[in-house]
Amino acid sequence: MSELIEKGKKAKRASRELARYSRAKKDEILIKAAKALIEKQDEIIAANEKDINAAKESGISGALLDRLTLGKGRIESMAKGLVDIAGLDDPVGEVLFMKKRPNGMTIGQKRVPMGVVGIIYEARPNVTADAFGLCLKSSNVALLRGGKEAIHSNMAIVKVIQSALEECDAPREILQLVEDTDRKVALEMMKLNEYLDVLIPRGGAGLIQSVVQNSTVPVIETGVGNCHIYVDESADFDMASRIVINAKTSRPGVCNAAEKLLVHSSIADEFVPRICAELEAKGVKIIADEKVRDIYPKAEKATEEDWFTEYLDYVIGMKIVGSIDEAMNHISHYGSGHSEAIITNDYSNSQRFLEEVDAAAVYVNASTRFTDGSEFGFGAEIGISTQKLHARGPMGLKELTSTKYIIFGDGQIR
Amino acid sequence: MSELIEKGKKAKRASRELARYSRAKKDEILIKAAKALIEKQDEIIAANEKDINAAKESGISGALLDRLTLGKGRIESMAKGLVDIAGLDDPVGEVLFMKKRPNGMTIGQKRVPMGVVGIIYEARPNVTADAFGLCLKSSNVALLRGGKEAIHSNMAIVKVIQSALEECDAPREILQLVEDTDRKVALEMMKLNEYLDVLIPRGGAGLIQSVVQNSTVPVIETGVGNCHIYVDESADFDMASRIVINAKTSRPGVCNAAEKLLVHSSIADEFVPRICAELEAKGVKIIADEKVRDIYPKAEKATEEDWFTEYLDYVIGMKIVGSIDEAMNHISHYGSGHSEAIITNDYSNSQRFLEEVDAAAVYVNASTRFTDGSEFGFGAEIGISTQKLHARGPMGLKELTSTKYIIFGDGQIR
């Protein structure tokens, strides 16, 4: 039996026991696991050093190496993450409705765990603890497959958490790591329908696309954010500037950062020079259509490809549009359905934008940067879904659950 | 451009217009389409005759031929189906919650259409009108791909409905049929992520598995029902008999029919002969384990394969179990997660069964046959989902929708 199938079987078995745990039991495990991470941080750091050395040898550096590195501070924040999750409400067991049918039968819909959640991720070992915490709190067993660059770190973290599970008399299979980091095994995991109830990729666009393309297990796609801000004719310029600067520059590398700015033609002569100067002062490169370049010649010429691109950098695409319809058509064609904003003081345009723009989050007069589980008040966040099935937008613990119907009869037949 | 891509593009475009329609407009279309089906039934029946003749020539007969055949009665019931859907509440536009965040921003979650729904089905032309009605009422454009056996019927039905759309000044692309019935085209449709938001297979297990295995578009799996009834030690025998007979024999060919009967050992000597006699009187063949056969030797010997099988026929698998745990373990191993029932008068066992059995619908003291959209009070039914993502159990119009977050700000930045 392959490692994967063996672990899949064990995961399925453990999921039945985990489904019976009370919130108190789950929180106890989370707190124990957090303590164990702190107590055994030397083991984790030693394992992490192996990964770091291997990464350096293979020429990895910069942001990738930084993400891989676990210092005392990062381990503490992993532990704090678990403690925070313990503080969140239990999503499982809630009855969403219950009603009596005409034949006297009572039907209820109850929130239940998914069962076994598979997570495929890259070289960020902190995802290991985080994914465990979110899955456990939603009564799901986690089967993780991390990147090979972080294998020693991941193994060490899993070992520490498994020791905490055992201390709490819980099956260690509540958290398992697939240790074979061959790409073939990841592909095999994407077809593991018998043991996995859902598969969540966490990482870059390449990983996510590979999972979407290859998985027969139901996938929750977390995604790309080619987010637009449309500055309408009636916009307050101060507000528009403040929001554009915030959405573009407060953290350019995240999916809810603005990537494109659309400006109504009737205000372009006044607004474009002003926002361009402010963006440039923040180090943002401007790539634009011809109309913008007529007003602001320093801007680079945009290609068709640019309008589709999520830069994740100090770069913005800028375009002048003749109407809200042109803005919405552009967003519909080039957008990724993540977060879209209009800056306006026009009632009817605000309503149309909210109604007609098809995205996970649609804003009037606020920064796209708010598309985030904790900003929305959900506590934890598993990711931001850009698909329409099951979950859309920031996903909290609830999105890691399913439902079942429970029926109380007294002999009813049909 | 292939037919599929062209229709995909048109569907996407039409979905933006449809998203703006009021309930009144949608209901107007449904009523017009229903009328058109009645008025133009001769066209439909003539087209259907071509399909029937072709089917007869290729040797199709029996149930398959019956399903393919559209008489006056069937067309009337298709039309009535559309009128009924017009009477249901509009699922779109409901705001599921709305709250003010500490920074003064208001966040709401609103129910919105999926966009474009793909449906792949077999030789039942009535699905064509039904799928159109459900999609339209949930503001979704439908792209249908029916079986080649029903192609002339489907084309005629689509043409009639498209004429009704045009009469209402609605784009005819709200309903489109993929006319190329080559299997390759179905496979291509399963990868049409750019234009399809969700894909729903409607048909037999083979079709559903093919879609699950090949689709990169998110799928809602409707499914197999290997449903169990467990008769507990404390069961009322009259109630148990009534429910078993109803669940097995009221309509054996449907997914919510019981396929297996598990009986507690302490009541087996009394209950097994009684229920076997009743089942046999209804023409049900009994396939059983050794313990049942010791009591009732006429039963056939069950193979391992039998416990996994959905017979969809006058056949039941019967097994004696030593405890509720053995029953639940059996269900967990062999069940398909559709509908499972316990007949009991024991409080603690009823609670355990409801809590621990992992299925779309879990019953105490009622027939599994109730797992159905209209029995649950949902009005229409698209199918019964046996997956855990997005929808589980009978799916109504709500399950054909997604959500989006709408955010009302006054200049908030992060």
Domain hosting A310: range is 227-370
Pair A313, A304: CB distance under 8 Å:
no
User: Would you say residue B336 lies in a domain?
Assistant: yes
Burial label, B367 (beta-carbon count in 10 A; 0-12, 13-18, 19+): buried
H or E stretch at B278: helix B265-281
Inspect the interface and report whether the beta carbons of A356 and B387 lie closer than 8 Å.
no
Contacts with A99 from chain B: Cβ below 8 Å? 377
Inspect the interface and report whether the beta carbons of A393 and B407 lie closer than 8 Å.
no
**For all residues of chain A together, what is the average pLDDT?**
95
Which pair of structure tokens corresponds to residue A371? 């598309």
Q: How far, in Å, CA of A143 to CA of A196, rounded?
A: 8
Examine the domain organization and report whether B239 and B191 are in the same domain. no
H or E stretch at B290: helix B290-295
Mean pLDDT within A41-55: 97
| Chain B nearest-CA residue for A377 | B101
ipTM: 0.92
* Torsion sign over Cα A189, B199, B191, B215: positive
Nearest-by-Cβ selection for B392 from A99, A393, A404: A404
Examine the domain organization and report whether A267 and A365 are in the same domain. yes
Nearest-by-Cβ selection for B412 from A20, A101, A367: A367
Q: Whose CA is closest to B341, among B329, B326, B328?
A: B328
- Least-confidence region, from A231-235, B203-207, B323-327: B203-207
Q: What is the pLDDT of residues B132-176, one digit of tens each?
A: 999 999 999 999 999 999 999 999 999 999 999 999 999 999 999
pLDDT band at A414 (very low <50, low <70, confident <90, very high): very high
In this predicted structure, what is the pLDDT of residue B381?
Answer: 84
User: Would you say residue B25 lies in a domain?
Assistant: yes
| Chain B nearest-CA residue for A337 | B404
Inspect the interface and report whether the beta carbons of A407 and B247 lie closer than 8 Å.
no
Examine the domain organization and report whether B277 and B204 are in the same domain. no
A-B C-beta contacts closer than 8 Å? 202
**For all residues of chain B together, what is the average pLDDT?**
95
Q: What is the CATH number of the domain that holds A363?
A: 3.40.309.10
User: Would you say residue B35 lies in a domain?
Assistant: yes
pLDDT band at A224 (very low <50, low <70, confident <90, very high): confident
Nearest-by-Cβ selection for A20 from B246, B356, B405: B356
Three-state SS at B89: coil
| Chain B nearest-CA residue for A241 | B411
Inspect the interface and report whether the beta carbons of A363 and B239 lie closer than 8 Å.
no
Which pair of structure tokens corresponds to residue A207? 């990983």
Calculated CA dihedral for residues A21, A114, B137, B212, nearest 10 degrees: -160
Structural domains of chain B, count: 2
Examine the domain organization and report whether B156 and B231 are in the same domain. no
User: Would you say residue B413 lies in a domain?
Assistant: no
Q: How far, in Å, CA of B226 to CA of A276, rounded?
A: 64
From the CA of B403, how many Å to the nearest CA of chain A? 6
Inspect the interface and report whether the beta carbons of B115 and A197 lie closer than 8 Å.
no
User: Would you say residue A31 lies in a domain?
Assistant: yes
Q: Whose CA is closest to A191, among A168, A162, A155, A217?
A: A217
Q: How far, in Å, CA of A357 to CA of A309, rounded?
A: 19
Cross-strand pairs, B395: B383
Angle at B13 (CA atoms; ends B195, B85), nearest 5 degrees: 85
Examine the domain organization and report whether A262 and A206 are in the same domain. no
Inspect the interface and report whether the beta carbons of A412 and B370 lie closer than 8 Å.
yes
- Is the pLDDT at A223 greater than 80? The verdict is no
DSSP state of B90: P
- Is the pLDDT at A112 greater than 80? The verdict is yes
Pair A331, A340: CB distance under 8 Å:
yes
User: Would you say residue B243 lies in a domain?
Assistant: yes
Percentage of the residues of chain A whose pLDDT score is greater than 70: 100
Three-state SS at B283: coil
Write the CA distances from A34 to A26, A131, A317, B235, integer angstroms: 12, 13, 43, 47
Nearest-by-Cβ selection for A360 from B243, B376, B405: B405
Examine the domain organization and report whether A332 and A345 are in the same domain. yes
Which pair of structure tokens corresponds to residue A402? 């399913």
Examine the domain organization and report whether A161 and A132 are in the same domain. yes
Examine the domain organization and report whether A209 and A311 are in the same domain. no
Inspect the interface and report whether the beta carbons of B388 and A115 lie closer than 8 Å.
yes
In this predicted structure, what is the pLDDT of residue B125?
Answer: 93
Contacts with B332 from chain A: Cβ below 8 Å? 16
Nearest-by-Cβ selection for B407 from A221, A361, A407: A361
In this predicted structure, what is the pLDDT of residue A61?
Answer: 80
Mean pLDDT within B400-404: 97
In this predicted structure, what is the pLDDT of residue A374?
Answer: 87
- Least-confidence region, from A163-167, A313-317, B111-115, B202-206: B202-206
Q: How far, in Å, CA of B48 to CA of B68, rounded?
A: 8
Amino acid at residue number A82: L
Mean pLDDT within B310-338: 96
In this predicted structure, what is the pLDDT of residue A174?
Answer: 98
In this predicted structure, what is the pLDDT of residue B379?
Answer: 81
Three-state SS at B301: strand
Mean pLDDT within B119-129: 92
Nearest-by-Cβ selection for A105 from B212, B370, B394: B370
In this predicted structure, what is the pLDDT of residue B330?
Answer: 98
Write the CA distances from B97 to A138, B391, B404, B406, integer angstroms: 21, 19, 11, 10
Mean pLDDT within A235-256: 96
- For chain B, the straight-line distance linking the first and the last C-alpha, in angstroms and rounded, comes to 45
Q: How far, in Å, CA of A212 to CA of B157, rounded?
A: 34
In this predicted structure, what is the pLDDT of residue A382?
Answer: 84
Q: Whose CA is closest to B224, among B327, B360, B121?
A: B360
Inspect the interface and report whether the beta carbons of B359 and A404 lie closer than 8 Å.
yes
Cβ-based neighbours of A300, under 8 Å, separated by 6 or more = A285, A286, A287, A288
pLDDT band at A6 (very low <50, low <70, confident <90, very high): very high
- Is the pLDDT at A325 greater than 80? The verdict is yes
Examine the domain organization and report whether B318 and B207 are in the same domain. no
Contacts with A197 from chain B: Cβ below 8 Å? 388-389
Q: What is the CATH number of the domain that holds A96?
A: 3.40.605.10
In this predicted structure, what is the pLDDT of residue A205?
Answer: 83
pLDDT band at B355 (very low <50, low <70, confident <90, very high): very high
From the CA of B409, how many Å to the nearest CA of chain A? 5
Pair A232, A324: CB distance under 8 Å:
yes
User: Would you say residue B125 lies in a domain?
Assistant: yes
Mean pLDDT within A221-234: 93
Per DSSP (E only), the strands in B180-293 are 198-202, 227-231, 258-264, 285-288
In this predicted structure, what is the pLDDT of residue A190?
Answer: 96
In this predicted structure, what is the pLDDT of residue B22?
Answer: 96
Q: What is the pLDDT of residues B22-37, one digit of tens each?
A: 999 999 999 999 999 9
Examine the domain organization and report whether A192 and A277 are in the same domain. no
pLDDT band at A381 (very low <50, low <70, confident <90, very high): confident
Examine the domain organization and report whether B133 and B205 are in the same domain. yes
In this predicted structure, what is the pLDDT of residue A91?
Answer: 95
Q: What is the pLDDT of residues A326-358, one digit of tens each?
A: 999 999 999 999 999 999 999 999 999 999 999
In this predicted structure, what is the pLDDT of residue A12?
Answer: 95
Examine the domain organization and report whether A63 and A204 are in the same domain. yes
Burial label, A281 (beta-carbon count in 10 A; 0-12, 13-18, 19+): exposed
DSSP state of A263: E
In this predicted structure, what is the pLDDT of residue A244?
Answer: 98
User: Would you say residue B385 lies in a domain?
Assistant: no
From the CA of A54, how many Å to the nearest CA of chain B? 35
Angle at B262 (CA atoms; ends B261, B268), nearest 5 degrees: 110
Instruction: Write phi, then psi, for B321 (nearest 5 degrees).
Output: -120, 150
